[in-house]
Amino acid sequence: MAKFDQIMKVLAILGGLIALIVGLLDLVGLNYGLGASWAVPYLFPIVAIILGIVVLLSAFKGSPVPFTAVWLLVLGILILIFGSWLAAVLVIIAGILGFLN
């Protein structure tokens, strides 16, 4: 087990949950400045929800989605574009910690 594995998993789970919640709130029109409300009103929240689910799936053992540093960085950048900046920062930090292992 690597040095930052548990911290990476916690950050990824928090980032995935935040992306999922912000995507759902954005979908129903309750955006409080956390999501990408400037974009297509229904496409971006749906993509943010899917990305949040993918991040959550990658953090659990036995999932078909890999839990690697590169994958977390890619997902973090996509969440930054389509979803919440707060969730993206958490997932990107988890990816950076993966490179520090």
pLDDT of residue 42: 80
The range of the structural domain enclosing residue 95 comes to: 5-100
Tokens of 93: 């930090």
Residue where the block lists tokens 């993966």? 98
Do residues 92 and 73 touch, judged by C-beta distance below 8 A?
yes
DSSP state of 37: T
Residue where the block lists tokens 């990658």? 58
Helix (H, G, I), strand (E, B) or coil at 38: coil
pLDDT of residue 26: 84
Task: Return averaged pLDDT per consecutive 10 residues of the chain, 101 residues in all.
Answer: 85 94 85 60 86 92 86 94 91 94 82
Give the total number of structural domains in the chain.
1
